[in-house]
C-alpha cells in the first residue's frame, strides 16, 4: 500500500491545469497501489482550491503556508510532508518552478527521479514512466527502483478525468526551514499572453514571417482563438520576437492539443519542442518543407493570405 503525493502548481493566484492533470494520473497510480491521493498546496489561501482537485480524485489536500516562491523552501516542505505521509510516488509539474525544486526533493528523499514524463503505466508496485528522448525522436519507458519514486509531468500530457473524492483539508506546520539562499529580486520579461507550456492551442511563426512587423497577424489569431504565440529559433535569432516565445530544443517544449506552424520549415530542433502536439497544422508555401511530414493538416499557400482568412472565419464562428 502506498500513497501518491501531488505537488500543486499555484501561480499568480491561479491553480494551474497541470495540477488537475497530475491528480487524475495519481488516482490511477493510487488505485494500483491501494493507497490515497494527497495533494500538497503551498501558499497562503491555497485551501480554496481544494474542491478543484477533489473533483478529479484528491482524497486529501494538505496546505502549507508560504508568502512567496522559494525553490529551496518548497523542497524542504515537500520532502518533510512526503516523509511524514510515507508517500511512495511523488508527482510534480515540469514547469519553471517545478524544474527548480524537484531535483532538490529527490536528493532529500534519496529517490530516483524521471523528468518530463508524458505517459504513466504500472508494473506491480512500480510506475513505468514514458518520456521523450533523442530530441523527441523516440520514447523511453523508465522504472525507478528506489523506495520513493519521483516524477515531473509535462503539462498537457495527461487526461483530466472527473472522479470525485473526499478532498478533506488539513494544514501542515512544515515550513521553509533552514534555507541558505535568498531571492533578492525577480525580473519578468514580456512573453505570451497565455503561457506557452500550458496552452491548449499555440500559433507559431518562423522565418516565413519575413520580419517583426508581421507577428501581430499571428497575435490577432491568437487573441481570437485563445492561443499562445510561439516562434521558431530562426525568428528569435533574427531579433523579430523575444526568446520567451521560442519553441524547440533550445526553447520551450510544448504539448498543446493544436499547434499551428506558420512559415516554419520544421527543423529537427524545432520539432523536438512540439512534436508531441496532438494535432499539427502547417502553413507553408514550400510543399517540400519537412513540417508537412509530421503535420496532421497541411496548407501549401501564402500564410499572409491564409492566417487573416482563418482569423476572419474564427471571428464569425466564435462571435
* pLDDT reported for residue 122: 93
What per-residue confidence (pLDDT) applies to 227? 95
Residue 2 confidence (pLDDT): 84
- Return the pLDDT at 192: 57
CATH topology of domain 196-318: Rossmann fold (3.40.50)
The domains of the chain are located at 3-171, 196-318
Instruction: Give one DSSP letter per residue of the chain, joined into a string.
Output: --EEEEE--EETTEE-HHHHHHHHHHHHHHHHHT--EEEEEESTTGGGGHHHHHTTT-SEEEEE--SS--HHHHHHHHHHHHHHHTEEEEEEE-SHHHHHHHHHHHHHTT-EEEEEE-EEEEETTEEEEEEEETTTTEEEEEE--SSSEEEEE-TT-S---------EEEE------S-S------------SS-GGG-SEEEEE-GGG-SGGGHHHHHHHHHHHT-EEEE-HHHHHTTSS-GGGBBSTTSB----SEEEEES----HHHHHHHTT-SEEEEEES-TT-GGGGT-SEEEES-HHHHHHHHHHHHHHHH-
**CA distance readout (Å), 168 to 15, 47, 56:** 18, 10, 13
**Whole-number Å distance between alpha carbons of 282 and 270:** 13
> Same fold for the domain at 3-171 and the one at 196-318?
yes
pTM of this prediction? 0.85
CATH code for 3-171?
A: 3.40.50.620
Task: Answer yes or no: are the C-beta atoms of 15 and 23 closer than 8 Å.
Answer: no
Distance in angstroms (rounded) separating the CA atoms of residues 91 and 115? 10
pLDDT score of 152 = 98
pLDDT at 225: 96
In this structure, what C-alpha cell is assigned to residue 300?
A: 501549401
Q: What is the pLDDT of residue 188?
A: 66
Cα–Cα dist 75/84, whole Å? 14
pLDDT along the chain (319 residues), means of 10: 92 92 96 94 94 95 94 97 96 95 97 96 92 87 96 94 88 92 76 78 97 96 96 96 93 94 95 92 96 96 97 92
CB atoms near residue 55 (< 10 Å): 18
Residue whose entry in the numeric block shows the C-alpha cell 524545432: 270
The confidence score (pLDDT) of residue 66 equals: 92
Amino acid at each position: 500500500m502506498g500513497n501518491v503525493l501531488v505537488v500543486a502548481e499555484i501561480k499568480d493566484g491561479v491553480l494551474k491545469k497541470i495540477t488537475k492533470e497530475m491528480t487524475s494520473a495519481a488516482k490511477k497510480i493510487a488505485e494500483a497501489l491501494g493507497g490515497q491521493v494527497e495533494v500538497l498546496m503551498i501558499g497562503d489561501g491555497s485551501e480554496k482550491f481544494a474542491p478543484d482537485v477533489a473533483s478529479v480524485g484528491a482524497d486529501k489536500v494538505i496546505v502549507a503556508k508560504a508568502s512567496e516562491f522559494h525553490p529551496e523552501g518548497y523542497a524542504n516542505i515537500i520532502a518533510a510532508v512526503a516523509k511524514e505521509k510515507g508517500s511512495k510516488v511523488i508527482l510534480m509539474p515540469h514547469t519553471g518552478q517545478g524544474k527548480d525544486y524537484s531535483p532538490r526533493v529527490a536528493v532529500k528523499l534519496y529517490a530516483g527521479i524521471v523528468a518530463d514524463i508524458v505517459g504513466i503505466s504500472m508494473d506491480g508496485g512500480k510506475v513505468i514512466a514514458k518520456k521523450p528522448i533523442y530530441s523527441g525522436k523516440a520514447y523511453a519507458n523508465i522504472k525507478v527502483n528506489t523506495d520513493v519514486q519521483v516524477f515531473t509531468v509535462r503539462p498537457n500530457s495527461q487526461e483530466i478525468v472527473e472522479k470525485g473524492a473526499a478532498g478533506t483539508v488539513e494544514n501542515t506546520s512544515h515550513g521553509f526551514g533552514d534555507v541558505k539562499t535568498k531571492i533578492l529580486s525577480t525580473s519578468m520579461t514580456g512573453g505570451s499572453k497565455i503561457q506557452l507550456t500550458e496552452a491548449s492551442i499555440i500559433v507559431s511563426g518562423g522565418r516565413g514571417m519575413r520580419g517583426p512587423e508581421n507577428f501581430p497577424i499571428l497575435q490577432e489569431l491568437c487573441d481570437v482563438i485563445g492561443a499562445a504565440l510561439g516562434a521558431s529559433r530562426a525568428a528569435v535569432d533574427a531579433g523579430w520576437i523575444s526568446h520567451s516565445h521560442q519553441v524547440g530544443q533550445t526553447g520551450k517544449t510544448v504539448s498543446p492539443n493544436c499547434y499551428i506552424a506558420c512559415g516554419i520549415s520544421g527543423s529537427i530542433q524545432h520539432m523536438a519542442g512540439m512534436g508531441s502536439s496532438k494535432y499539427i497544422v502547417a502553413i507553408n508555401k514550400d510543399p517540400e518543407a519537412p513540417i508537412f511530414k509530421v503535420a496532421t493538416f497541411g496548407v501549401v499557400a501564402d500564410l499572409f493570405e491564409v492566417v487573416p482568412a482563418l482569423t476572419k472565419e474564427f471571428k464569425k464562428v466564435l462571435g
